[in-house]
Amino acid sequence: MLRSPEALGEVMCRLETVCETIKPDLIVGIESRGFIVGAPLACHCRIGFVPVRKPGKLPGAVLGVDYALEYGTDRLEIQADALSGNPRVLVVDDLLATGGTAAATARLVELAGGRMAGFAFLIELAGLGGRQALPAHQPVSALLRYD
């Protein structure tokens, strides 16, 4: 997809329709592949982008959440002032598998003062049940779905 400007353009157009429906104020991308999708989407939609990163990679004061993985635990962080003003946030990543990382990101968005508007993924591995791990009232979009 990244080697083809046409393919990346098509992905951005399809994700733009998600943004038109959800109307977020900001895109939050999950490290690191969420940056590859989220930053161009934010630029395409003319809204801001905020990264969510692994510990110790962001400057200044940060907020963090710990979460469980299939094989242990991990932590995500966001700059403490990144979501000031209570913005509506669309969380973007490349893959929805078990949903743990995306669910932790939603908790982090709310902890930082944002309001969740929904989730958008390039691919969903539906058999792993990731949608069930996400907040039930949030819209979830995936461009491709594998059962």
- 33 a catalytic residue: yes
Q: Roughly how many angstroms between the first and final C-alpha of the chain, as a whole number? A: 21
Q: For residues 120 and 90, is the Cβ–Cβ distance under 8 A?
A: yes
The gap from C-alpha 86 to its chain's centroid, in whole angstroms, comes to: 17
Q: For residues 52 and 24, is the Cβ–Cβ distance under 8 A?
A: no
Q: Catalytic residue among 14, 31, 33, 131, which? A: 33
Q: Catalytic residue among 6, 20, 46, 70, which? A: 70
Q: Which stretches within the chain are classed as H helix?
A: 5-22, 33-45, 100-111, 130-133
The answer, yes or no, to whether the previous bond of 4 is cis (omega within 30 of 0) is no
- Tell me the catalytic residues: 33, 70
